[in-house]
């Protein structure tokens, strides 16, 4: 799905969101649909060669056993290689189950804790004029929470935050480094960012450096959020045990499914840590799943990320709409959306659309940490 404009961030320039969509048919003919992020070449082969055969051995109600079966097929060694592939099937299982019993997913997960879900506007690039205009457009649409990408250069880190803060005033503002800082750079830069009152700083250090994040939390006042460090349930457990984060960003596609997301949120809730959701260009199936998750998880109290405003289109008949910075809860069964098969065919792709790198800079690639 093309973006209306290429998204510039610390790992390149992303022109589109590539997603995998799965259809599951139950024995009684009920169909369910799932979607996952597709950033790298191994995801589809794992889906087809391992996940599909295992899924066919289970009913739609056996989500936990299906998940453990995948890990037991050797992927306990390689959890990050399995989670994105299995997430599409797991979502489709939930959708089919919800359609079968005539209930929305939030109702299956303990009911609605909240009736609308606040969304954070995403801001990309390093051009101050364009960044300010983009921030103002989101303010005009009613958004009250904002996330700015930094981690491109040391100079633009400060300029980006300062530019957006001038536009949004006292509204909530967070910044995402994507692991570009060294520990020393993190300390120096966060000192410079103190006047801008960040809600949190996301993934300031390299994803494996949990101890570095512990130290960073202890020595400065800006709350630390972890995203890339929190792909699996075990990752979340380690973050909480070490005290490495004030906020955790979850993603059902990167943790292996909707149920795994709920379990991870509960781990964080027990430690008093709020959670939110990462965005990777969700289409209608996943965006609807996000609403169900955020509506039913008590400690998902921070506006969720969303790149919806940048997408050129969708593949469902009535995609979720952000109004005044919020997504409304649906009462339709399952995910609450239906596929538009003509659009699925229109946007079908046989390759992954440049999730990393930058075609305008041959030979360039990001390093983590970068500076």
Mean pLDDT confidence for 95-110: 98
What is the Cα gyration radius of the chain?
A: 20
Mean pLDDT confidence for 224-250: 98
What's the pLDDT tens digit per position in 247-275? 999 999 999 999 999 999 999 999 999 99
pLDDT for position 245: 98
Q: What secondary structure does DSSP assign to 179-198, as a single string?
A: T---HHHHHHHHHHTGGG--
The H-or-E segment that residue 137 falls in is helix 128-140
Q: Name the CATH code of domain 106-337 (choices 3.20.20.120, 3.40.50.720, 3.20.20.150, 3.20.20.60).
A: 3.20.20.120
Q: What percent of the chain has pLDDT over 90?
A: 99
Range(s) of the chain covered by CATH 3.30.390.10 = 2-102
pLDDT for position 31: 98
pLDDT for position 32: 98
Mean pLDDT confidence for 82-94: 97
Who's near 67: CB < 8 A, 6+ residues apart? Answer: 86, 90, 256, 257, 259, 260
Q: Mean pLDDT in the chain? A: 97
Who's near 198: CB < 8 A, 6+ residues apart? Answer: 161, 173, 174, 175, 222, 223
Mean pLDDT confidence for 139-164: 97
What's the pLDDT tens digit per position in 152-182? 999 999 999 999 999 999 999 999 999 999 9
d(CA 278, CA 262): 14
Q: Which of 304, 296, 229, 309 is nearest to 258 (CA)?
A: 296
pLDDT for position 361: 93
CATH 3.40.190.10 fits 2-102, yes or no: no
Range(s) of the chain covered by CATH 3.20.20.120 = 106-337
Mean pLDDT confidence for 327-345: 97
Q: CA angle, corner 251, sides to 210 and 335, nearest 5?
A: 165
pLDDT for position 139: 98
Q: How confident is the model at residue 43 (pLDDT cuts 50, 70, 90)?
A: very high
Mean pLDDT confidence for 316-325: 96
Q: Tokens in use for 283? A: 């289409």
User: Mind spelling out the 3-state secondary structure of 30-84?
Assistant: CEEEEEEECCCCCHHHHHHHHHHHHHCCCCCCCHHHHHHHHHHHHHCCCHHHHHH
d(CA 311, CA 327): 16
Q: How confident is the model at residue 35 (pLDDT cuts 50, 70, 90)?
A: very high
């Amino acid at each position: 799905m093309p973006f209306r404009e290429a998204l510039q961030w610390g790992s390149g320039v992303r022109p589109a969101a590539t997603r995998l969509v799965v259809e599951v048919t139950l024995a009684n003919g009920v169909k369910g649909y799932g979607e996952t992020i597709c950033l790298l070449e191994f995801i589809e082969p794992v889906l087809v060669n391992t996940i599909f055969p295992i899924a066919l051995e289970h009913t739609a109600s056996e989500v936990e056993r299906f998940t453990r079966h995948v890990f037991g097929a050797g992927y306990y060694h390689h959890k990050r290689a399995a989670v994105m592939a299995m997430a599409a099937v797991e979502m489709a299982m939930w959708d089919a189950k919800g359609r079968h019993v005539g209930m929305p997913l939030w109702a299956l997960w303990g009911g609605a804790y909240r009736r609308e879900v606040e969304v954070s506007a995403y801001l990309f690039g390093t051009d101050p004029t364009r960044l300010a205009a983009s921030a103002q457009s989101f303010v005009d649409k009613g958004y009250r929470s904002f996330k700015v990408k930094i981690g491109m250069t040391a100079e633009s880190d400060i300029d980006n935050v300062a530019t957006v803060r001038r536009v949004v005033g006292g509204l909530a503002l967070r910044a995402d480094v994507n692991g570009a800082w060294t520990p020393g750079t993190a300390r120096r830069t966060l000192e410079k960012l103190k006047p801008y009152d960040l809600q949190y700083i996301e993934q300031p250090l390299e994803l494996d450096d949990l101890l570095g994040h512990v130290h960073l939390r202890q020595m400065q006042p800006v709350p630390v959020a972890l995203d890339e460090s929190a792909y699996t349930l075990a990752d979340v457990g380690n973050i909480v045990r070490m005290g490495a984060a004030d906020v955790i960003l979850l993603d059902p596609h990167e943790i292996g499914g909707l149920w795994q997301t709920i379990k991870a949120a509960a781990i964080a809730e027990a430690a008093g840590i709020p959670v939110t959701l990462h965005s990777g260009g969700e289409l209608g199936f996943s965006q609807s799943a996000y609403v169900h998750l955020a509506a039913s998880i008590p400690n998902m109290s921070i506006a969720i990320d969303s790149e919806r405003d940048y997408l050129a289109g969708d593949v469902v008949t009535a995609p979720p709409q952000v109004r005044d910075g919020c997504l409304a809860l649906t009462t339709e069964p399952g995910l609450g959306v239906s596929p538009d098969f003509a659009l699925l065919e229109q946007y079908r792709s046989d390759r992954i659309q440049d999730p990393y790198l930058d075609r305008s800079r041959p030979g360039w690639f990001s390093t983590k940490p970068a500076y």
